[in-house]
Amino acid sequence: MGLGINLRRKLREHEDALKPLENILKINLKEEIPKVKGMRDFDQLITAPTLGYGFPDNYYRVASLGPRLKDIKVPTLLFSPTDDPIPPYVSIELVAAIYFLMKTLW
């Protein structure tokens, strides 16, 4: 809930800078900003279409680090604050555990 409120506040603060996107994305910011409840809504409204991904799932699939972890060839230390809502801390721990198991078992 807090993330959505903060996103809406930031969108309103920077509405003038985002104004050119209205024509490009065929949206009305005054109507769409109140609908943003979380990161996925923001990605649906702004990120995915602006970057050419169309939909959030396409953006997440292409931009995600998860599938690329297996390609890391040197010891790597990942940092993520425990209070970061994107990504949740538990997902970093889970990805690290899966990566360790993949390296160990294969």
Write the pLDDT tens digit of every residue in 27-50: 999 999 999 998 899 999 999 999
Q: Round the average pLDDT of the chain to a whole number and report it.
A: 81
Q: Yes or no: say if 63 and 77 are a contact pair by the CB < 8 Å rule.
A: no
Does residue 106 carry a pLDDT above 80? no
Q: CA torsion sign, 86 to 89 to 93 to 94? A: negative
pLDDT at 99: 66
Residue ranges of alpha helices (H) inside the chain are 2-13, 15-25, 29-32, 39-42, 48-50, 56-63, 89-105
**The pLDDT of residue 80:** 66
pTM higher than 0.75, yes or no?
no
∠ CA 51-56-62 to the nearest 5 degrees? 65
